[in-house]
Amino acid sequence: MKLYNTPMPAPNPRRVRIFLAEKGVSVPLVDVALQKGEHKAPEHVARNSLGQTPVLELDDGTCLSETVAICRYLERLHPKPAMFGRSALEEAQVEMWVRRVEFQLMGPAGNFWRHAHPFTARVVNPQYKDFGEANRGAYERALMWLDGELAGRDFVAGEVFTMADICALSTVDFADWIGLKVPEAAVNLRAWHARVSERPSAGA
């Protein structure tokens, strides 16, 4: 296997790297430089028709994309520690929180990145800057909602670190990099962020 990867600050490849680090599994990385357009090169589009990273290429040449799908495949190969829940209820809770993070946090952060950030101005045409900036408030409201949900628990989906935490950490860190900061008032979220950032996998 090999993982077609893009280094920090790209959030999606980082999710898979964190997941692998939590599993203690090593997969060779092949870096794809987005700034050079390597993700749109014909050889990469042949692996993922959307021209995105990450892509996990299996030994037989089969290619998987989309971070959660890649991690679910790896979970079946390496079930311990369980990152998608240890029971039917936990699996459902992790799935619920992954979806919530995707829609409530990554949605507005991604819209801000595409439509309001100068780095993307040369590739997103047209940019709708007013729409992009409007997502700043939506993202902050989502953070404050998550802050309330984290009251009294250590991790996003419950009592253990899961894929939901990986999705949230990669989103919050990427959003910070593009200028969307965690409000000072979000004390539960800040405490969670400090906890999960101390895990060795966070440096993956």
CATH code of 59's domain: 3.40.30.10
Domain end position, chosen among 21, 42, 77: 77
Domain end position, chosen among 29, 54, 77: 77
The domain containing residue 158 runs over which residues?
Answer: 88-203
Q: Exposed, middle or buried: residue 109 (CB in 10 Å: 0-12, 13-18, 19+)?
A: buried
For residue 64, what pLDDT band results from cuts at 50, 70 and 90? very high
Please state, in angstroms and rounded to a whole number, the distance separating the CA atoms of residues 102 and 96. Answer: 10
Q: Could you tell me if 202 and 18 are in contact, meaning their C-beta atoms sit under 8 angstroms apart? A: yes
On whether both 59 and 141 belong to a single domain, the answer is: no
Can you list the alpha helix ranges (DSSP code H) found in 46-186?
67-77, 88-100, 107-116, 129-149, 163-177
Please state, in angstroms and rounded to a whole number, the distance separating the CA atoms of residues 142 and 145. Answer: 5
Q: What is the pLDDT of residue 16?
A: 98
User: For the chain, how many residues are written?
Assistant: 204
Strand-strand pairing, 2-5 and 29-31: parallel
Number of domains observed in the structure of the chain: 2
On whether both 95 and 134 belong to a single domain, the answer is: yes
Is residue 83 one of the residues assigned to a domain? no
Q: Is the pTM of this model over 0.75?
A: yes
pLDDT tens profile 123-180: 888 999 999 999 999 999 999 999 999 999 999 999 999 999 999 999 999 999 999 9
Q: What is the pLDDT of residue 179?
A: 97
